[in-house]
Amino acid sequence: MKNIKIKRPYKLWKRGDREGVYYIKPKNGGPWKSTGSKDKDKAIEWADAKCNSGDNENAMHHKKVAEAHLMKCNPEWVTNTWDIIAKRKISGPRCKVGGQKKSGTIESQTSAWNNNCWNGLRHKRCIDTTPRDFELATQDAGPYLIAMGKQIHNYAVGHGLIPYPIMGKEMWPIREGGKMSRTVTEEDHLKIINLIQDETLNSFNQYVKHNPSTTRKQWRDEWENWLWFLWWTGASSKDAANMKAENIKWKEGVIEYNRAKWVKPEKHAPVRVGISKGGKLEALLKKLPKKGLLFPLLQTVRSCNRSRNLALWADWVGVEKVTPHGYRFAFAERAKEMGMSAEDRMTTLGHKEFLQTSHYDQEAQVIPASIETIEDGLKAA
């Protein structure tokens, strides 16, 4: 095998007047230096280590100089870690519309940032970060966690908290996002309703234990009515729990309300849900309180606890895990299948853009009208 000649940045010389000790001299200039060894291989090993050490020392020197310049421009650039920036972003105002974030948004973003995937990046200085750090952090992360990392990075760039972007727009991984919850089918809904007919369920005992002035029957009835309310209105968990009798406009035949998530309700048309005379929704509403909260007990229960209870009951009856939000998908899909117009679906769900509504009803099984029926109708007209 042919030996490959390695070019080194120094000259090697064995000095006979020094009992055969090897010396080196940098090719770019400089004095001769003793390796302290008479063995050629050991002398080369020492010389290579010395040269590499010199490179590292130069790199450290340049790094310190760069940090000194950054310190002059903005002291925060040298001290900011991703944890500092993330907490500033989470506690800061809403980016586009202004105003303070909802407590639920703060909790959700805090939970996302506390995920273990960010552990290797969390306390790292921003100026020490490379794209590889973000790639490692997000390699097994879902769409929401990736979006959180992207938001924090862009927040740092947009607010001048780092001297330069770490990640380009196309460097972030793409994960296909799905629904926030599985659609609740009518079969699923009826199974859960049948289960909670039993007021001796341990869930109701726990409610009474923490609310001694209430009864298991009150909790049972309110849960049943609340689930039917979700089924017929498509309201979100929080909006349904906060619903009041005053939101029912009997003369107009609608339920009218502003969504809790709206920071500036005046910029939105109110949600309006139609009430059919003699229908099941009308019968349900007439059973509920005539003033104040329609669901006073469930209004005191946190959204996460309502979701947890529903998932528990679904598991008991052999239904794949569902959440109250699944009722919103169920309503949107049924409305589309039954021929409700896009405008009416948007008004009922409280959406400003059709794209939001289409996300909820995209799996509806619509049966299109026959061309023959349409043609006959046109001829008759």
List of long-range contacts for 198-203, beta carbons under 8 Å, 24+ apart:
203/309, 203/312, 203/313
* Percent of the chain clearing pLDDT 70 (strictly above): 88
pLDDT band at 11 (very low <50, low <70, confident <90, very high): confident
Nearest to 319 by CA among 222, 225, 227, 237: 227
pTM: 0.63
One domain for residues 213 and 346: yes
Domain boundary among 136, 171, 206: 171
The CA–CA distances, whole Å, from 27 to 11, 40, 42, 244, 271 equal 6, 18, 20, 86, 80
One domain for residues 271 and 145: no
pLDDT band at 354 (very low <50, low <70, confident <90, very high): confident
CATH code for the domain in which residue 340 is found: 1.10.443.10
> If you average pLDDT over every residue of the chain, what do you get?
86
Q: 381 pLDDT exceeds 60?
A: no
Dist CA 348 CA 331 (whole Å): 10
Task: Kindly report the number of other CB atoms within 10 A of residue 333's CB atom.
Answer: 20
- pLDDT of 32-44, one tens digit each? 788 888 888 888 8
Per the domain annotation, does 4 fall within a domain?
no
Question: What's the number of domains the chain is made of?
Answer: 3
Mean pLDDT over residues 247-264, rounded?
92
Per the domain annotation, does 216 fall within a domain?
yes
One domain for residues 339 and 213: yes
One domain for residues 338 and 197: yes
One domain for residues 276 and 335: yes
Per the domain annotation, does 252 fall within a domain?
yes
Q: 86 pLDDT exceeds 80?
A: yes
Per the domain annotation, does 340 fall within a domain?
yes
- pLDDT of 333-347, one tens digit each? 999 999 999 999 999
Q: 80 pLDDT exceeds 80?
A: yes
Dist CA 38 CA 321 (whole Å): 75
pLDDT band at 3 (very low <50, low <70, confident <90, very high): very low
Nearest to 192 by CA among 349, 320, 335: 320
Dist CA 189 CA 227 (whole Å): 8
Per the domain annotation, does 154 fall within a domain?
yes
Q: What is the CA radius of gyration of the chain?
A: 34
One domain for residues 88 and 223: no
Mean pLDDT over residues 249-276, rounded?
91
Per the domain annotation, does 116 fall within a domain?
yes
Q: Which domain holds residue 95?
A: 77-171
Mean pLDDT over residues 126-145, rounded?
90
pLDDT band at 2 (very low <50, low <70, confident <90, very high): very low
Dist CA 158 CA 161 (whole Å): 8
Residues 285, 295 contacting (CB under 8 angstroms): no
pLDDT of residue 1: 36
One domain for residues 213 and 341: yes
* Percent of the chain clearing pLDDT 90 (strictly above): 52
Residues 320, 295 contacting (CB under 8 angstroms): no
Per the domain annotation, does 113 fall within a domain?
yes
- pLDDT of 162-219, one tens digit each? 999 999 988 888 766 555 578 999 999 999 999 999 988 999 999 999 999 999 999 9
With vertex at residue 238, the alpha carbon angle to CA 197 and CA 240, rounded to the nearest 5 degrees, is 55
pLDDT band at 143 (very low <50, low <70, confident <90, very high): confident
One domain for residues 99 and 35: no
Q: Which residue has the tokens 């790199």?
A: 59
Nearest to 193 by CA among 218, 220, 214: 220
One domain for residues 281 and 193: yes
Per the domain annotation, does 1 fall within a domain?
no
pLDDT band at 266 (very low <50, low <70, confident <90, very high): confident
One domain for residues 201 and 347: yes
One domain for residues 118 and 248: no
Q: 125 pLDDT exceeds 90?
A: yes
One domain for residues 351 and 294: yes
Q: 230 pLDDT exceeds 60?
A: yes
Residues 67, 79 contacting (CB under 8 angstroms): no
Mean pLDDT over residues 223-238, rounded?
96
Domain boundary among 55, 71, 87: 71
